[in-house]
Amino acid sequence: METTTYPPRDSPPEATSWSTVVARGRAKQTVPHMLSHRRNTGDSDRLEHVTIFETEDIHQKWLVQKAAAIIQNTLLPDTVIFEFQSKDFEHYTDAYKLLMDKIGPLAGNGARPISRFGSTTRQELIIEAKFAEASDNSKAVLEGFTHQGVVYKAVPANSNQEGSRLQVVSLSQLPPYLSNEELVDGLCKSLRYFGMVSRIRKITNRGFFEGDVSVTLDIFQ
């Protein structure tokens, strides 16, 4: 009689590395996402996002992408973008005067209040401007100025219009014992199929890392 041998029920499945699981998403053309968590009764979670990696240009890419999304159009050529806090000005046009005082005359004596478009009330004040002198545009980007103890530098409006787009994805169930260096190295390698990793933030709960991260990808790089 032929005998069939079955593996023991408690045999562990073949282990698959976390980076391999992430990389498999390439074939599906979709980015892995964070699984939902069950919330137990009792004290609420206290989540914090701790940045462990980011590229130097991520802030200017975010600002230009946000400005273009607000107006639902491309930004004007040869302009620069400033971001302030609305509460720092009695009227938003006071920011125009500040730019003229700190940098130089505005071309056409005007500017565009990007953040005032649309129906959403925003705390930030985003302004698109072009200075009368090209050297002042460069000064605004390279040097900027200080106002109320804060250094403001402009971002070239055309710095993110070559197909670059940022997208935030969440990943869960990563090994919680990995060092920051191991996380950064593994995620940058695994997610390179989707784009360039521009920022990695660990999500901690009451100071403890449970394997959840938030990753910003430049998906057109």
| Cα 148 from Cα 158, distance rounded (Å) | 28
The boundaries of the domain holding residue 193 are 18-37+46-55+163-218
Tell me: do 28 and 110 sit in the same domain: no
In a domain, 13, yes or no: no
Tell me: do 104 and 187 sit in the same domain: no
Q: How many distinct structural domains can be found in the chain?
A: 2
Q: The pTM is what?
A: 0.61
In a domain, 113, yes or no: yes
* 129, amino acid identity: A
Tell me: do 88 and 131 sit in the same domain: yes
pLDDT digits (tens, 9 = 90+) for 46-88: 889 999 999 988 888 888 888 888 887 778 889 999 999 999 9
| Cα 140 from Cα 165, distance rounded (Å) | 24
Which of 156, 178, 207 is where one domain is finished?
Answer: 156
Q: What does the pLDDT read at residue 102?
A: 96
Q: Using an 8 Å Cβ cutoff, are 145 and 151 in contact?
A: yes
Parts of the chain with a pLDDT under 50: 1, 3-13, 26, 29
Which of 156, 175, 197 is where one domain is finished?
Answer: 156
Tell me: do 180 and 114 sit in the same domain: no
Tell me: do 77 and 151 sit in the same domain: yes
Tell me: do 107 and 191 sit in the same domain: no
| Cα 106 from Cα 128, distance rounded (Å) | 11
Tell me: do 184 and 123 sit in the same domain: no
Q: What does the pLDDT read at residue 10?
A: 47
Tell me: do 69 and 143 sit in the same domain: yes
| Cα 31 from Cα 66, distance rounded (Å) | 22
- Maximum distance among all alpha carbons in the chain? 97
Which of 107, 137, 156 is where one domain is finished?
Answer: 156
Q: What does the pLDDT read at residue 5?
A: 45
Tell me: do 50 and 63 sit in the same domain: no
Tell me: do 146 and 85 sit in the same domain: yes
Provide the CATH number for the domain around residue 113: 3.30.70.330
